[in-house]
């Protein structure tokens, strides 16, 4: 909330620079083509074992969960099969799905890298030697000739690289590369995909002609010895490559054809451990499948039919010319073209109203270690009585107000506590599943140290058992999480990541706080995503399936609950913003005012406040400010409170004119 700054407008003007963000989608919605990469897929023998490998070797974490969708047997043509999975979120918004099928016999198999249908994920790391040492400790087979990294040619010059296998025989190529500015922390900073093909011509016809993916590459073959050593191919082997960029969050993809070496086409059923696949969202699924059938493409799903997967999603598995399984799907309501004049520039603060700033501020400053903005002590400042404009803005009547703003290290948004006095207030202490409830998720470098302070403060612990848990269920992992409440009942999730970001483990690190994210509970995922997309250009990734995880259920104090999560970004902000829809537990919908203790709000900066309100209400939101319109002062500074479809309050801010 920015009321504290709004009050300063009485005596001084504030200025903010604005940037318009835009993304326009192609107008043609009828020609069958790929819309975006959804995720890479890899079927595993045992989910926990493979998750442990990617965590211990590369620092990539995933959460296992059951996937009780009744359409899975039809989609995979495996009657009676059940599915457990984990969706790993990799750098660059890449998703990597590990699938563990149960209830039917399975036939594990491993390809040679030169076999058509073989697949690999390419991980670009800061420190190759550390990754190799971790792989050796995990007993990962090294495919590269000699068992040590080799120097290969890349688009950036040369780089050291090695090829290894995960516990299921799936190929992982590791490349040491200097990260670009702004790359995420951790050893892995970039990801791409690589596939081995039968022939460049048939692959180009399939992916280019049927999916509209542009692929380029030389027609001649190469005998580069470094490449042959990397993939463990014998001397005399030749190869040529096709390269392209999968749309969506863009992902580099490479297809390699080998000759001069014995090759066996590698094709497994979707459920077989070691089976690779790729899921892509397309335009005109019906037309695309008709084209594929006419061209003789093998359709894997039961009866060769498109499957209704629920939630407006229709999907089908097919086999590409090389033997790899490809899931192609379409959503019935694709996002409309976005305006280049979206009024939103960025998310500024997550805020919540307190019963007493004197009680709640020390919890965040002294217990959790969040640094305050500025040098003045907010507790030493008396409340300011809201003038007529600010009373209308907040829909209060002459109440007193004071606030405290915090800086969150390594996060591009802040946190604010507000306090209203001198009028009626209705404290709220929601359950975490209640519609409109919000959670501040803080990454910490030593969760036991912070938790000891939390317990000493008397703050309630939400997590069953009162101790941090590992959501992956692996006792050897160092990832730990716990959920607590602040003095007003507001939820705070503490997470100790595994591994810690570079430098975070040092005793000289400037703060115990390493970063933050925001989550809030929604009534319906699809309607919330549609609203936020239309109202502020929210960039949502695919909504996860409805499922559960006993460890996570205990983490949030909801044994037996199910949930689905949608991750995305607010325009102009890089933070991961989570929308969680709960099921199987009673839920209430919060209806709070700005003055009510426990009430959350999100603050956004806009360049035209009236345009922002118009777009918000057109999308289905409402205005909470008295009079139903923004409060704009003579200097151009403006504020307005609005509500989204879940009843959650958002504050829109317009800066003073320059």
3-state secondary structure 85-135: EEEEEEHHHEEEEEEEEECCCCCCCCCCCCCCCCEEEEEEECCHHHHHHHH
pLDDT at site 557? 96
Cα–Cα distance for residue pair 308/445, rounded to 1 Å:
44
pLDDT at site 272? 97
b/e sequence 571-585, b meaning 16+ C-beta within 10 Å? bbbebbbbbbbbeeb
Is 599:624 a contact under the CB 8 Å cutoff? no
Q: Exposed, middle or buried: residue 27 (CB in 10 Å: 0-12, 13-18, 19+)?
A: exposed
Cα–Cα distance for residue pair 335/260, rounded to 1 Å:
47
> In 3D, which of 201, 192, 202 has the Cα closest to residue 278?
192
- And the tokens for 570? 């607010």
Cα–Cα distance for residue pair 221/224, rounded to 1 Å:
9
Nearest-5° Cα angle at 571, 331 to 612: 95
3-state secondary structure of 69: coil
User: Which pairing describes strands 344-353 and 414-421: parallel, antiparallel, or unpaired?
Assistant: parallel
Ordered structural domains, the chain, with CATH = 3-17+340-654 (3.10.180.10), 33-331 (3.10.180.10)
Non-local (6+) Cβ contacts of 375 within 8 A are none
pLDDT at site 336? 40
Instruction: Extract the residue ranges of the chain whose pLDDT is less than 70.
Output: 1-29, 333-342, 473-476, 501-510, 571-575, 657-658
pLDDT at site 185? 78
Non-local (6+) Cβ contacts of 121 within 8 A are 40, 42, 96, 170, 171, 172, 173, 191, 192, 193, 194
pLDDT at site 310? 80
Cα–Cα distance for residue pair 477/259, rounded to 1 Å:
43
Is 513:450 a contact under the CB 8 Å cutoff? no
Give the alpha-carbon dihedral of 541, 50, 187, 520, to 10 degrees: 30
Q: What are phi and psi of 50, to 5 degrees?
A: -70, -40
Q: Helix 609-619 crosses helix 525-536 at what angle (to 10 degrees)?
A: 150
Determine what percent of the chain falls in helix, strand and coil, rounding each to the nearest 5.
20, 35, 45
SS (H, E, C) 353-373: ECCCHHHHHHHHHHHCCCCEC
pLDDT at site 47? 93
- What end-to-end distance do the CA atoms of the chain give, in Å? 22
pLDDT at site 572? 57
pLDDT at site 571? 62
Could you identify the residue written with the tokens 């089908």? 316
Cα–Cα distance for residue pair 236/447, rounded to 1 Å:
55
pLDDT at site 376? 85
Cα–Cα distance for residue pair 187/176, rounded to 1 Å:
10
pLDDT at site 574? 65
């Amino acid at each position: 909330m920015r009321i504290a700054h709004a009050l300063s407008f009485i005596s001084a003007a504030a200025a903010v620079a604005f940037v318009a963000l835009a993304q326009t989608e192609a107008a043609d919605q009828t020609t069958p083509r790929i819309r975006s990469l959804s995720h890479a897929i890899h079927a595993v023998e045992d989910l926990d074992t493979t998750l442990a490998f990617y965590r211990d070797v590369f620092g990539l974490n995933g959460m296992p969960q059951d996937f009780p969708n009744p359409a899975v047997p039809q989609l995979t043509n495996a009657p009676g099969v059940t599915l457990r999975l984990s969706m790993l979120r990799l750098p660059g918004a890449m998703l990597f799905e590990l699938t563990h099928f149960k209830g039917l016999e399975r036939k594990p198999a491993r390809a040679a890298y030169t076999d058509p249908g073989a697949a690999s994920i390419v991980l670009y790391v800061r420190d190759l030697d550390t990754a190799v040492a971790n792989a050796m400790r995990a007993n990962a087979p090294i495919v590269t000739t000699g068992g040590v990294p080799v120097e290969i040619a890349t688009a950036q010059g040369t780089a050291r690289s090695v090829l290894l296998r995960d516990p299921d025989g799936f190929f992982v190529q590791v490349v040491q590369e200097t990260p670009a500015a702004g790359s995420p922390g951790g050893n892995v900073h970039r990801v791409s995909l690589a596939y081995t093909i039968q022939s460049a011509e048939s692959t180009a016809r399939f992916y280019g002609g049927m999916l509209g993916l542009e692929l380029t590459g030389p027609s001649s073959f190469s005998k580069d010895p470094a490449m042959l050593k990397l993939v463990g191919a014998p001397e005399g082997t030749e190869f040529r490559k096709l390269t392209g960029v999968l749309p969506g969050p863009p992902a580099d993809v490479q297809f390699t054809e080998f000759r001069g070496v014995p090759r066996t086409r590698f094709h497994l059923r979707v459920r077989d451990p070691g089976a690779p696949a790729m899921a892509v969202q397309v335009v005109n699924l019906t037309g695309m499948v008709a084209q594929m059938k006419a061209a003789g493409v093998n359709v894997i799903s039961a009866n060769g039919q498109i499957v209704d997967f629920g939630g407006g999603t229709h999907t089908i598995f097919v086999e590409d010319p090389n033997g790899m399984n490809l899931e192609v799907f379409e959503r019935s309501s694709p996002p409309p073209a976005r305006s280049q004049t979206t009024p939103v520039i960025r998310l500024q603060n997550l805020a919540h109203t307190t019963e007493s700033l004197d009680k709640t501020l020390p919890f965040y400053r002294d217990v959790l270690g969040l640094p305050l903005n500025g040098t003045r002590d907010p507790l030493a400042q008396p409340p300011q009585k809201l003038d007529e404009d600010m009373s209308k803005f907040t829909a209060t009547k002459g109440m007193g107000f004071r606030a405290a703003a915090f800086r969150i290290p390594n996060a591009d948004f802040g946190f604010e506590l507000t306090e209203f006095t001198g009028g009626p207030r209705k404290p709220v202490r929601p359950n975490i599943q209640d519609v409109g409830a919000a959670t501040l998720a803080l990454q910490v470098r030593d969760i036991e140290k912070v938790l000891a302070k939390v317990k000493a403060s008397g703050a309630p612990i939400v997590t069953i058992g009162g101790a941090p848990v590992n959501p992956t269920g692996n006792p050897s992992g160092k990832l730990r999480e716990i959920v607590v409440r602040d003095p007003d009942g507001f939820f705070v999730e503490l997470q100790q990541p595994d591994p810690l970001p570079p430098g975070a483990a040092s005793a000289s690190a400037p703060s115990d706080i390493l970063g933050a994210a925001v989550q809030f509970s929604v009534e319906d995922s699809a309607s919330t995503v549609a609203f936020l997309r239309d109202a502020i250009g929210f960039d949502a990734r695919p909504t996860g399936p409805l499922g559960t995880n006993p460890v996570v259920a205990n983490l949030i104090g909801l044994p037996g609950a199910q949930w689905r999560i949608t991750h995305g970004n607010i325009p102009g902000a890089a933070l991961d913003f989570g929308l969680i829809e709960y099921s199987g537990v009673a839920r209430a919908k919060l209806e709070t005012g700005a003055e009510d203790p426990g009430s959350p709000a999100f603050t956004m900066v806009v360049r035209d406040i009236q345009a922002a309100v118009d777009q918000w209400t057109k999308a289905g939101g409402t205005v909470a400010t008295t009079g139903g319109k923004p409060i704009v002062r003579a200097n151009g500074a403006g504020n307005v409170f609005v509500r989204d479809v879940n009843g959650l309050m958002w504050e829109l801010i317009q800066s003073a004119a320059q």
